[in-house]
Structure 1
């Protein structure tokens, strides 16, 4: 359906598929809530809603079964459509109003026409039908309001408020469990594309051009998700947060989530409804207390106006509540007079209880909205860490470590030049990852350009290059030891002089003191492999030579390890003003023949050690995040 207007038959098939789902009726009621006049739906039939959403670019479909529908905030200007679709959109959005006002207006015009033609009887009949229609609509609206207010949980009202002020995912339906994640990701990508297009259009109209990163939240409701698999998938997504706890109505989706426990209040008893119930019982029971004394105390003619039966007593009591007297009725007993005086107090007491209940309800609603807003702000303001890896082994190690910490699978963002892998939130720290396309620093897919693109996309507070490296001290260190680069020496910039003398002219840079301090602190709580600190060399040459390693060790006697991407990585991070550090783990000795324990052996560069080293480096980085070491933004520290 993307890019073309769907046929009515396609929309009808999608609507039938939604209704047939396990939670389809709940989603249908959410898409088409009752209007103020309860006998009508507020919005049009579901096929019409789907067709209009597709015309506006708000519908994402998968054949004739899977469908997701987005809805912009109420304040947003809707996309201009053709005359046909504009009329259909108005009908879909104001269906209840059209059904409520359309027939009465038509009947009124018909009655006027009949009266002008002197057809009095038909005119009266039309007016009678019109009166009955309005009475039925008003009665239905009153009953619906009372029933819905008593059944609707407070969180649903908060969800309605949030959905009206933010982009919302109003429907998510896919009966095929295998395609559920694809539909959810497509819906989220459509949301980011729509927001980005809107901002770019606004900039273009002002004569400018911008690069856009979407930071808004997408509000979802559990009622709009039709299958259990899809509900579990959304709830467990790294993008989703539920401010009122698992299984509740409101779902907030963004490029970040929170793992803090929600701050909620205990549900309160609806005292106003209990008061009305008690008042009704009292009103129906008091006439029995009036009738008996009235029958015994009335004398002769007084009995004609006395409250001697239940109907008279009930009428008189209701009038007393309204500070009125019933013509032709008068109490004859002192007991009735006292009860009448007490009945005068019920109306002001009811008004007082109603005002207090309304204020408490509004305060509770404001509190819940503030909780949701704080959650939304927290989702958007977490400290952000970008983890940079190069090889598939490194990617898998980080993904597994993040899954152990969050319990959520990796989500992929394809909206930018660089694919960003969202790993979720850990201790108020949003974690993203990129994988560099090529080894080394200077190629188009190397660490320098890839890191610049990623930083400009996600705007992280911290950047960490992790993965595997080669060691330079096989007698002192072991395969799998974590290497923390206290300084990074760039070996690519060299000057060759006579007698094959090489002068290194590259930078020797210290990483972020903040991140180094964090690494030092958490190393004391790390129970994994040994953590080695020292100088790392960065050279875009793949070493597998004993002589080259010996020359390197002689040239850089303080170096403890080396790799290929560090120089481009730190140059990009420094250019973009991001705190950075390099944390890797030894997987080999760059061609020298030593085994895992540093003993000489004819094993070259064993791939078996790469997985162990990548796991250790990833575990150390995630351990640092889990300790809360990166939960504070650098900007907050400077305050």
Structure 2
């Protein structure tokens, strides 16, 4: 643990909520929505945390991982390092996702993980007629009930569009309509998908810290990702950052308010 983090703890400024992003667009959206005043950075081993200050009586910090959940710098490693250093009561993955149904959803719709399904683990077999048979075998995990309750309350007082449900989480940056359709056929209840949630879940659960994924739709992973890519990504990142700020402002996110079970 670095000297800066030791000073932070000594000054009684513990982290209540850790926000996690994976791209510059997502990070900039957080910094913009939370205000652009000078920030304090803390080096936490291979990553760095940004002190976002107080929101709704909770102390908020931000880390940015690499894209994906596994590998050096990805969300599982980054969040584990941040939890070990900052001891947050809750971890929230914020940013961009793909939607499952273009006909019913729109860019900027905020998706919240009631559950995650880790889709990478699959059984690939062969049918009697020789056709490939794929069976989903990944974990299906439920986000923190305490965080879900707070975000449901926030959804009732926010003008933005929000949908709760099952999110797909895996390592693939999907932009292929055939693959997307096959994946959704395995998990027809899914409302969308993303890449970092499984690492956030693994890191937070191993440390007994509450977690949730809050990401907005930027595309439909259908081979058309490049169409107005930057504008759609900025819209999605801004929508998710704004909704998280709205929820935090409502209060109830301090370690005393949450079921604080993080290890020490």
TM norm structure 1? 0.38
The Cα shift of 1:409 comes to 2.7
1:538 aligns with 2:166: no
3-state secondary structure, aligned to 1:420: strand
1:553 aligns with 2:181: no
Contact 1:625–1:631 (CA<8 Å) still a contact in 2?
no
CA distance in 1, matches of 2:221, 2:203: 26
Aligned equivalent of 1:216: 10
CA distance in 2, matches of 1:566, 1:572: 10
Contact 1:590–1:605 (CA<8 Å) still a contact in 2?
no
Contact 1:399–1:410 (CA<8 Å) still a contact in 2?
no
Runs of 4+ in structure 1 off by over 6 angstroms are none
1:621 aligns with 2:244: yes
CA distance in 2, matches of 1:526, 1:424: 22
CA distance in 1, matches of 2:219, 2:39: 29
Which residue among 445, 454, 463 is the counterpart of 2:73?
445
The Cα shift of 1:636 comes to 6.5
The Cα shift of 1:450 comes to 0.9
Aligned equivalent of 1:468: 96
CA distance in 1, matches of 2:17, 2:39: 15
The Cα shift of 1:216 comes to 1.2
Aligned equivalent of 1:7: none
CA distance in 2, matches of 1:415, 1:505: 34
The Cα shift of 1:604 comes to 4.3
Aligned equivalent of 1:520: 152
Aligned equivalent of 1:572: 203
Which residue among 50, 53, 56 is the counterpart of 1:427?
56
1:384 aligns with 2:16: yes
Deviations for 1:355-401, whole angstroms, at most 9, x for unmatched residues? xxxxxxxxxxxxxxxxxxxxxxxx546x6100000000000001111
Structure number with higher helix proportion: 1
CA distance in 2, matches of 1:565, 1:472: 17
Contact 1:384–1:462 (CA<8 Å) still a contact in 2?
yes
Greater RCO between the two (CA within 8 Å, min separation 6)?
Answer: 2
Contact 2:46–2:73 (CA<8 Å) still a contact in 1?
no
Aligned equivalent of 1:501: 133
Deviations for 1:245-294, whole angstroms, at most 9, x for unmatched residues? xxxxxxxxxxxxxxxxxxxxxxxxxxxxxxxxxxxxxxxxxxxxxxxxxx
CA separation of 1:213 and 1:491: change in aligned 2, threshold 3 A: farther
3-state secondary structure, aligned to 2:72: coil
Aligned equivalent of 1:401: 33
1:483 aligns with 2:106: no
The Cα shift of 1:629 comes to 2.9
3-state secondary structure, aligned to 2:71: coil
1:412 aligns with 2:41: yes
Larger gyration radius, structure 1 or structure 2: 1
Contact 2:20–2:92 (CA<8 Å) still a contact in 1?
yes
Which residue among 455, 471, 492 is the counterpart of 2:120?
492
Structure number with higher strand proportion: 2
CA distance in 2, matches of 1:605, 1:441: 26
CA separation of 1:533 and 1:635: change in aligned 2, threshold 3 A: closer
1:456 aligns with 2:90: no
The Cα shift of 1:607 comes to 2.3
CA distance in 2, matches of 1:415, 1:446: 14
Bigger mean CA deviation after superposition, 409-418 or 531-540: 409-418
Deviations for 1:340-365, whole angstroms, at most 9, x for unmatched residues? xxxxxxxxxxxxxxxxxxxxxxxxxx
Contact 2:17–2:254 (CA<8 Å) still a contact in 1?
no
Contact 2:19–2:62 (CA<8 Å) still a contact in 1?
yes
TM norm structure 2? 0.90
CA separation of 1:525 and 1:567: change in aligned 2, threshold 3 A: same
Contact 2:146–2:259 (CA<8 Å) still a contact in 1?
no
Aligned equivalent of 1:369: none
Aligned equivalent of 1:83: none
Contact 1:439–1:564 (CA<8 Å) still a contact in 2?
yes
Matching of residues 316-335 of structure 1 within 5 Å: none
Q: CA RMSD in A?
A: 2.1
The Cα shift of 1:547 comes to 0.7
1:611 aligns with 2:206: no
- Unaligned ranges ≥5, structure 2: none
